[in-house]
Amino acid sequence: VQLQASGGGLVQAGGSLRLSCAASGTIFNIGAWEWYRQAPGNQRELVARISSTGASNYEDSVKGRFTISRDNAKKTVYLQMNSLKPEDTAVYFCHADRIASARGYNVDNWGQGTLVTVSS
């Protein structure tokens, strides 16, 4: 099972980006999805989470600006980021807490990260 993140890039403050993270392989079920970010010199922090039932929650600084969603049929999670600020600049990582696949049951699954740069 692999997670492939995409959608990062350079955007001006106030702009928008949509991140995607797709799981590949013969997958039967994915638990909760999360997006984390890590800015230079900082620890990785949880940005948003969506449960297997679709319940979502957000880190305070992104509430009202970011929206996490999932498409179970496509085995994909999204992060719509609006009203971006320079302090949102970071590498964004997707994470799936558990994946049931033809190869078994995997926990703690990470994507490779995608860089988001917001210019002022």
pLDDT tens series, the chain, 120 aa: 899 999 999 999 999 999 999 999 999 999 999 999 999 999 999 999 999 999 999 999 999 999 999 999 999 999 999 999 999 999 999 999 999 999 898 999 999 999 999 999
- Looking at residue 62, its amino acid is V
In this prediction, residue 1 carries a pLDDT of 86
The CA–CA distances, whole Å, from 57 to 34, 36, 45, 51, 52 equal: 10, 13, 14, 9, 13
Residues 6+ away with beta carbon under 8 Å from 14: 83, 84
Task: Compute how many other C-beta atoms are within 10 angstroms of the C-beta atom of residue 16.
Answer: 11
Max intra-chain CA distance, the chain: 46
